[in-house]
Structure 1
Amino acid sequence: MKTLGVEISGSEALLCLLTKEDDVFDIRDIRQRRFTLANQGLELEDMRKFQFDVAKLVEDYGVDSIAIRQRPHKGKFAGSAAGFKMEAALQLIPKVDVKLLTGTEVKEQLKANPLPVDYEDTGLKKFQEQAFINAYVYIMRKTYRKED
């Protein structure tokens, strides 16, 4: 299973590709670790380019699923309009399962299945941490919840 963890921050999508085969996790190196949505997605062509670029990465690496941390619609930590547009663009990528993970779901899964390695030992950049956690949580969720 190849899962692309995504963390949306402002007008950037931060990425981490995590695979699990035979109960072994592997962090895959990818050509681009972040995509920026130009002009806050105000122009149609900017949205199309963003979606095309991510979809091409998904296709090239044979990604099965995308895991995105869902952001609240209102309140102190509410997502921006550009962030919600990016979420929608990712959800519309064909032939890939996209799951929005709630904050509660992430916390519960991490409590039940803590990360098997210290993040500092992964070799990933600090900005990729939440994307890594999203991918890990999604994989663990699929492993223990067969109905998804």
Structure 2
Amino acid sequence: MRVCGVELKASEANICLLSKSDGLFDLPDCRVRRLNLLDINSREQLQEFQFAFAKLMADYKVDKVVIRQRAPKGKFAGGALGFKMEAALQLMSDIEVEILTPSAIKECLSKNPIAIAFEDTGLKAFQEVAFVTAFASLSR
């Protein structure tokens, strides 16, 4: 199964592809590491963001998108733009989209720790949360 972990931060979606086959994890190469939404008030920009994300998932034959949930209120609450982007991803019709809470991710990692240091994955530092989210989803 191939999943795409997503962390929504400000006006960008940081992504990481991860697949699991026969108990082995694989980090496939991906031409995109993050997608940006430039104009928060533009309907066309939001549709382009959704189309670009859906096209990327189709091109890499991703089975499921896993988004790390953000707090709706409080000190670490996500902004309105992030929730718009999350809705655009959830409304994609051809792919399953799941939202994982930080507590579910933490619980999964306590039962199934990551066997490799993040620095050894070859991913960029900003992709770490997306990688951990994808790993937690595949380890459940």
Q: Give me the TM-score of the superposition, normalised by structure 1.
A: 0.93
Percent identity over the alignment?
51
What is the number of residues matched between the two proteins? 140
Q: Is 1:122 matched with 2:124?
A: no
Q: Is 1:112 matched with 2:106?
A: no
The aligned residue for residue 144 of structure 1 is none
The aligned residue for residue 146 of structure 1 is none
The aligned residue for residue 145 of structure 1 is none
Q: Is 1:10 matched with 2:7?
A: no
Q: Could you tell me how far 1:103 is from its partner in structure 2?
A: 1.0
Alignment-mate amino acid for residue 65 of structure 2: I
Deviations 1:21-56 (A, max 9, x none): 11110001111110001112x110010000000000
Q: Give me the TM-score of the superposition, normalised by structure 2.
A: 0.98
In the aligned structure 1, how far is the partner of 2:75 from the partner of 2:5?
24
Q: Is 1:92 matched with 2:95?
A: no
Runs (4+) of structure 1 exceeding 3 A deviation are: none
In the aligned structure 2, how far is the partner of 1:22 from the partner of 1:95?
25
User: What is the RMSD of the two structures over their aligned residues, measured on CA atoms?
Assistant: 0.7
In the aligned structure 2, how far is the partner of 1:24 from the partner of 1:9?
29
Q: Could you tell me how far 1:95 is from its partner in structure 2?
A: 2.2
In the TM superposition, what are the counterparts of 1:1-148 in structure 2 within 5 Å? 1-40=1-40, 42-141=41-140
- What are the ranges of 5 or more consecutive residues in structure 2 without an aligned counterpart? none
Alignment-mate amino acid for residue 22 of structure 1: D
Deviations 1:52-71 (A, max 9, x none): 00000000110000111100
In the aligned structure 2, how far is the partner of 1:5 from the partner of 1:93?
15
Partner SS for 1:38: coil
Alignment-mate amino acid for residue 101 of structure 2: T
Alignment-mate amino acid for residue 113 of structure 2: P
Partner SS for 2:71: coil
- What are the ranges of 5 or more consecutive residues in structure 1 without an aligned counterpart? 142-148
Alignment-mate amino acid for residue 9 of structure 1: K
Alignment-mate amino acid for residue 20 of structure 1: K
